[in-house]
Amino acid sequence: MPLDIVVGAQWGDEGKGRMVDLFAGKASIVARFSGGDNAGHTVTVGDQIFKLHLVPSGLARPHTLGILGNGVVVNPATLLHEIDTLRQGGVTVNPDRLKISPAAHLITPAHRALDAAQEASRGQASLGTTLRGIGPAYMDKTARQGIRAAEMLDEEAFADRVSAHVEAANRLLTGIYGTEPLDASRVASEYLDYSRQLKPYIGDTVGLVAEALQSEKTVLAEGAQGTLLDLDHGTYPFVTSSNPTAAGALIGLGVGPRWVREVIGVAKAFQTRVGEGGFPTELDGEMAIRLRGTGENPWDEFGTTTGRARRVGWLDLVLLRYAVRVNGLTHLTLTKLDILSGIKTLKLCVAYERDGRSSPDLALGTYEMGHYRPVYEDLPGWEQDIQDARVWNDLPPQAQQYVRRIEALAGVKVGWISVGPERDQMVQLVSVE
Ligand code: IMP
């Protein structure tokens, strides 16, 4: 019966794919519920590595049904490309294994062009979006003029709709932003072609999820981005245009709260952020390079979607405690603890100071994040490599102390700790049912 939800507890890129992979082993459905191809996840199947942005990573497991829920914005070109890539890698992807909600909205080249034009027009105040057209697609959705996946079922009307949508966007692109218009008939025929290929994948995702839950099967909601990028609960305006928090899973899949069992928040053992916006614990200099890596390894802190170097800093417990609250987390997963090995003194941000007053809690939206000064607590680091740790007692006492302190400050138990990039490099404190 249960719905388990995996969400990012920071600004995205926490390593959610790892947890989804672990949980997907017991799930019959793995469903994306928000965002689009702005996300990036790495999926390992046997000895093959796939870099994906849109399809649920659980599809790598042969027994799961992947769902793109109504809360997702779907770029058909990306989706078809990923289906192709997975197939070439020997993964079976067909309409029996992947379903798109008829209510999911489509991203078009007009949305991408508007994203780029809006970012350029913001100048210094740009948000640092992924330029995937996410914001404009959700704008069309809330303006009740978006194109939904169901519209692909009626070919003739669909081509006209896409053409009219591009022409409307062209008026904005040329009239407001002074950029080049798109070729509406070319986009329409491209989308007609996509619709022919994607039609068989459109299905009653709400019904499929309900049936699975009623027949005691596990459904896994796979979060994208992270809590602090949530449109309502994140560090607005430097957020994405959807709700990647736990409640977003309910809206984005069409399921009620009574089915929820676990809400697992994934957080790195330190803090990272891509794009603009305040970051109280941000580091530069040697420690930043130490935490970020140089980009030589796939797990270094460079974006999967954009390749941008991520900003890095000490773990921020004010923000983590906030993420525990807004998601109602039942457990926390701590990733990349191994990266901290060899650092003599570790710092945890336990409060924010402003105007001589310090507070352990954040009333988000009260002030721009950049105005807070972090208050740190120092903890001793550990020297030894911990990549071979598999059980709690394999971790050095200082690493155990670091984890226990996080639990105490965040107010939630840590269930899993990742200590290396490989699937099995994990200290599992809670078993997965
Ligand atoms: P958008 O979602 O492309 O509109 O970008 C809005 C903000 O969210 C920017 O700061 C992006 O860098 C950030 N963002 C969007 N998706 C991700 C993600 O998957 N990981 C990390 N940051 C993201």
Q: According to the model, what pLDDT value does residue 310 have?
A: 94
274 lines ligand 1 (CB under 6 A): yes
240 lines ligand 1 (CB under 6 A): yes
Using the predicted structure, report yes or no on whether residue 307 has a pLDDT greater than 90: no
Q: According to the model, what pLDDT value does residue 356 have?
A: 84
CA 279 to ligand 1 centroid distance, Å: 15
- DSSP H helical ranges for 199-337: 205-214, 246-253, 286-292, 317-327
CATH class entry, domain 105-201 = mainly alpha
User: CB–CB of 100/81 below 8 Å?
Assistant: no
CATH number of 3-91+205-428: 3.90.170.10
| Prior bond of 237 cis (ω within 30°) | yes
13 is a catalytic site residue: yes
The model's pLDDT over 322-378, given as tens digits with 9 standing for 90+, comes to 999 999 999 999 999 999 999 999 999 999 998 888 888 877 766 677 788 999 999
**Greatest CA separation for the chain:** 66
Mean pLDDT of 264-269: 98
CA 142 to ligand 1 centroid distance, Å: 19
Q: Do domains 3-91+205-428 and 105-201 have the same CATH topology?
A: no
Q: Residue ranges per domain, the chain? A: 3-91+205-428, 105-201
The amino acid sitting at 93 is V
Kindly report the average pLDDT of the chain as a whole number.
94
Using the predicted structure, report yes or no on whether residue 303 has a pLDDT greater than 70: yes
Predicted TM-score of the model (pTM): 0.96
57 lines ligand 1 (CB under 6 A): no
The model's pLDDT over 129-170, given as tens digits with 9 standing for 90+, comes to 999 999 999 999 999 999 999 999 999 899 999 999 999 999
Which of the residue ranges 5-14, 352-361, 400-409 would you say has the lowest mean pLDDT?
A: 352-361
CA 385 to ligand 1 centroid distance, Å: 32
Which of 21, 41, 53, 111 is an active site residue? 41
39 lines ligand 1 (CB under 6 A): yes
Q: How many CB atoms lie within 10 A of CB 85?
A: 15
Q: According to the model, what pLDDT value does residue 365 have?
A: 67
Per DSSP, which regions of 162-319 are E strands?
219-222, 260-268, 271-273, 311-313, 315-316
41 is a catalytic site residue: yes
Sequence-distant (6+) residues with CB within 8 A of 76 are 106, 107, 191, 194, 195, 198
Task: Quote the CA–CA distance of 103 and 134 in Å, as a whole number.
Answer: 16
The model's pLDDT over 381-394, given as tens digits with 9 standing for 90+, comes to 999 999 999 999 99
Sequence-distant (6+) residues with CB within 8 A of 144 are none
Which of the residue ranges 214-228, 302-316, 317-331 would you say has the lowest mean pLDDT?
A: 302-316
Task: Quote the CA–CA distance of 282 and 377 in Å, as a whole number.
Answer: 15
